[in-house]
Amino acid sequence: MKVDVVLGLQWGDEGKGKVVDVLTPDYQVIARFQGGPNAGHSLHFADKVHVLRSIPSGIFRDNAINIIGNGVVLDPVMFAQEIDELEKLGVDVTAKIRVAKKAHLILPTHRMLDAASEAAKGKAKIGSTLKGIGPTYMDKTGRNGLRVGDILSPSFMERYERLKQKHVAMLAQFDFEYDITEYEAQWFQGVETLRRFTIIEGEHEVNRLLNEGKGILAEGAQGSLLDVDYGTYPFVTSSNTVCAGACIGLGVAPNRIGEVYGIFKAYCTRVGSGPFPTELFDQTGKDLQRIGHEFGAVTGRERRCGWLDMVALKYTTMINGVTQLIMMKSDVLNTFPTIKVAVAYEIGGRRVTEFPYETNEEITPIYREFEGWNCDINKIRRYEDFPQQFKTYVEFIEQETGVPVKIISVGPDREETIVR
């Protein structure tokens, strides 16, 4: 068996939660491999919305094992809150969730460092979700971090205190006031919640499950343009969101990766700061935001909106080795008479089709225009029934990327999905 991977090809919020939820009946195991509670994955079914942050989107399906892999960073407070909400819904979380020992812990002081660092950056801030993601990954690569497995060690408190004091000294360098007393108490309660779960040797477990013939779906968080190496640096997150991140974050070899499902919105959004070549500042942008309900699932912040960017999409399809494309939120474009797609950038009078080192304001997107379909496609369930204008749009994307669009989403609900 192989591990199939679902990941976002833009700046996050492409609809990964929905897709994982739709695909889970075909898999026995769902595994998160990077990121942390900066993610917000929404699932709509039975007229309800559920937002997941650290817990894999397979949690609502019977019999699915949900693994939090070693590449994830976990905040015990937020984890416990999510567990609490799921238990209220009657989900048997302890039976379904397993947490890798090597996943790193987000400390209360990591959150403070995130906030202090962002405040100090002023206008140049990343627009972080302030969940402590960056500082925790810094401690991981800096070889200072605390891991989930450490909560089982007799010296846990000592190690916690040592790392906390290191952070306190760092925080003293900022003009930043904070009080973690209350959060710290919740954090230790969260650690107790974590102890109720099966803590696993993630890499051994994942490979064992594969060898037993179990289907594993790896669920990415964020999107490829937020990848720390290949995204719009420094306006990125601190993990490898691309497909290779699934190997690192779960301990699976590259030759055990199977299908790579690349998810994109039929247009483009971004939350937080940083370059966005096709961003629209006009009424069309506002319409996309309103119709698409483009507000952050975690922070409630407005998502910036713009047209689909084929230069970026081809780039992320390449980096990830995408084998199947999944187009989301197609219904949001129902009422636009003309739909545009950036097919190249003009930079300093030159036409550029390769995603460049720097994506700054010097870029002018070169658009190709498509006639809109001007009708409601939400009820369509077979590809044949889509209007010709819609098919032209989809087939153009397939031609440009060289990858088939296998799933089309026409609404937030599980049911509003067309598999070709």
Residues known to be catalytic? 13, 41, 140
Determine, following the binding rule CB under 6 A, whether residue 44 of this chain makes contact with ligand GDP.
yes
Residue 392: CB partners within 8 Å, gap ≥ 6?
A: 370, 371
Region binding ligand GDP by CB under 6 A among candidate stretches 11-19, 139-147, 235-243, 391-399: 11-19
Question: Long-range contacts of range 401-406, CB-CB < 8 Å, 24 or more positions apart?
Answer: 401/310, 401/313, 401/314, 401/317, 401/322, 401/325, 402/317, 403/262, 403/317, 403/322, 403/323, 403/324, 403/325, 404/324, 404/325, 405/324, 405/325, 405/326, 405/327, 406/261, 406/324, 406/325, 406/326
Which one among 4, 13, 82, 139 touches ligand IMO, defined by CB under 6 A?
13
Q: Is 8 annotated as a binding residue?
A: no
Least distance (Å) between residue 293 CB and Mg ion = 12
With respect to ligand IMO, which residue has the nearer C-beta, 8 or 108?
A: 8
Q: With contacts defined by CB under 6 A, name the span among 131-139, 183-191, 236-244, 329-337 that binds ligand GDP.
A: 329-337
Q: Which residues contact 135 (CB under 8 A, 6 or more apart)?
A: 110, 111, 113, 114, 117, 167
State yes or no: 301 annotated in a binding site. yes
Taking each helix axis from N to C end, the angle separating 133-141 and 108-121, rounded to the nearest 10 degrees, works out to 110
Residue closer to ligand GDP by CB (options 131, 329) is 329
What's the CA gap between 37 and 80, in Å, rounded?
Answer: 12
Query: Given the complex with ligand GDP, which of 51 and 138 has the nearer CB atom?
Result: 51
Structure tokens at 149: 């497995």
**Binding ligand GDP by CB under 6 A: which of 29, 38, 41, 117?**
41
Dist CA 179 CA 181 (whole Å): 6
42 binds ligand GDP (CB under 6 A): yes
128 binds, among ligand GDP, ligand IMO, Mg ion, none (CB under 5 to 8 A by kind): ligand IMO
Query: How many CB atoms within 10 Å of residue 186?
Result: 17
Map tokens 């064992």 to a residue: 208
Rounded Cα distance, 345 and 347, in Å: 6
Closest distance of CB 152 from ligand IMO, Å: 28
Shortest CB 10 distance to ligand IMO, Å = 9
- Residue 225 in the binding site for ligand IMO (CB under 6 A): no
Give how far Cα 311 sits from Cα of 78, 226, 278, Å: 36, 16, 10
Using the rule CB under 6 A, which residue among 209, 331, 339, 401 binds ligand GDP?
331
Number of residues that bind ligand IMO (CB under 6 A): 22
Q: Is 177 annotated as a binding residue?
A: no
> Which positions touch ligand IMO (CB under 6 A)?
8, 11-13, 38-41, 126-129, 131, 133-134, 221-223, 226, 237, 271-272
Binding site for Mg ion (CB under 5 A): 13, 40, 297
Binding site for ligand GDP (CB under 6 A): 8, 12-18, 40-42, 44, 297, 328-329, 331-332, 409-412
